[in-house]
Structures are given as C-alpha cells and as structure tokens.
Amino acid sequence: MLVPSRGRHRPDATGPSDWSTAAAKDALNPIGILVEALGSTGENIAQALALVTAATDAAR
C-alpha cells in the first residue's frame, strides 16, 4: 500500500521523496506493462506513449 508522508492527506500532494523505492516500483511496473500493451496496437499510439515511457524511465 502506498502511504504518503505524515501530514499529507491528498495523493497529489506528495513528491518523489515521499515514496519508498519499492512503492514507486510497484506503481511504475503496471504503467510500463499498460504502455507496452497499448503501444502494440499501432505506430501512432506507440509514438504518443513514448513520452509516458520516458517519464516512467526517468522516475525509476
């Protein structure tokens, strides 16, 4: 379960340092799987999803 730091109650109020490495990996892995599956449906979609792949790679 992803739990933000104390004093924060909204998921969008957290920052990169508020999550453990394991929690971040648990959140990023399904995103990568989904991007790969959607990207296999067509070249245009794969190109559009390249930004998502770059962002998740940078977050790791």
pLDDT, tens digit, 9 for 90 and up, residues 27-45:
899 999 999 999 999 999 9
15, part of any domain: no
Rounded to an integer, the average pLDDT of 44-54 is 93
19, part of any domain: no
Task: Provide the pLDDT confidence category of residue 19 given band limits of 50, 70 and 90.
Answer: confident
**pLDDT of the residue at 1:** 46
59, part of any domain: yes
Number of domain units in the chain: 1
48, part of any domain: yes
Rounded distance between C-alpha atoms, residue 53 and residue 60, angstroms: 11
16, part of any domain: no
**pLDDT of the residue at 44:** 93
**pLDDT of the residue at 20:** 80
Contact 9, 26 (CB under 8 A): no
For 11, the 3-state DSSP assignment is: helix
52, part of any domain: yes
Burial 32-43 (b: 16+ CB within 10 A, else e): eeebeeebeeee
For 8, the 3-state DSSP assignment is: coil
Q: 0.75 exceeded by the pTM?
A: no
Q: Which domain holds residue 50?
A: 32-60
21, part of any domain: no
